[in-house]
Structure 1
Amino acid sequence: MTIVKRFIAGAVCPRCGEMDTLKMYRDDTHEHRECVRCDFSDAMALDGSDQPKGEIDTRVNRGGKVELEPAQPLNFVPNPSNTKH
């Protein structure tokens, strides 16, 4: 039996957060997902009996310091052509 792996359009990897990097395929008993960017993989039984064991490691729950860019405030001024005289 030849296994055909197909990309899932618009899907976001739960580990790395990249879009369009997940591919899926089925064997006789399971449906599998794999990320080509971060090597994430999981499987689900076709009958729905398997449940995930614990929380998967993602970019959000790995811990560590998150670097944020400094925010610049926006100043809104009224449009002079819209004021009534």
Structure 2
Amino acid sequence: MSTVKRFIAGAVCPRCAAMDRVVMYEDEGQQVRECIDCGFRDVMATEPDTQELETRVNRKAKAPQATEAQPIRFYPNPKLSAKKE
């Protein structure tokens, strides 16, 4: 049984910088990408070896801080009060 190799549209080879010359296929359960120009071959990791980075999306929200209610005092505008008199 032959291996089905598929071109990756827009992919650039990391070694020779050739565009649209990289193929992807599966070999013994591992994903492999290969450049057909220079022969560069890279086996892709199937399991992530790093933890997910903390971002504002996956960070746990902090509890909102309780604030005390404070009354607001309104003072009359002295310019408007002088015109009425």
Tell me the TM-score normalised to structure 1 length. 0.50
Where does structure 1 lack aligned partners over 5 or more consecutive residues? 50-85
Q: Secondary structure at the match of 1:46?
A: coil
In 2, the alpha carbon distance for the partners of 1:48 and 1:2 equals 28
Shift of 1:4: 0.7
Instruction: Name the counterpart of 2:48.
Output: 48
Give 1 or 2 for the bigger CA radius of gyration.
2
Instruction: Name the counterpart of 2:19.
Output: 19
Instruction: Name the counterpart of 2:7.
Output: 7
Change (3 A) 1:39 1:28: closer
Q: Secondary structure at the match of 2:44?
A: strand
- Following superposition, which runs of at least 4 residues in structure 1 exceed 2 angstroms of deviation? none
Tell me the TM-score normalised to structure 2 length. 0.50
Question: How big is the alpha-carbon RMSD for the aligned residues of Structure 1 and Structure 2?
Answer: 1.7
For this pair of structures, how many residues does the alignment match? 49
Instruction: Name the counterpart of 1:39.
Output: 39
1 or 2, which has the higher helix percentage? 2
Where does structure 2 lack aligned partners over 5 or more consecutive residues? 50-85
Residues 22, 34 of structure 1: 8 Å contact kept: yes
In 2, the alpha carbon distance for the partners of 1:35 and 1:5 equals 11
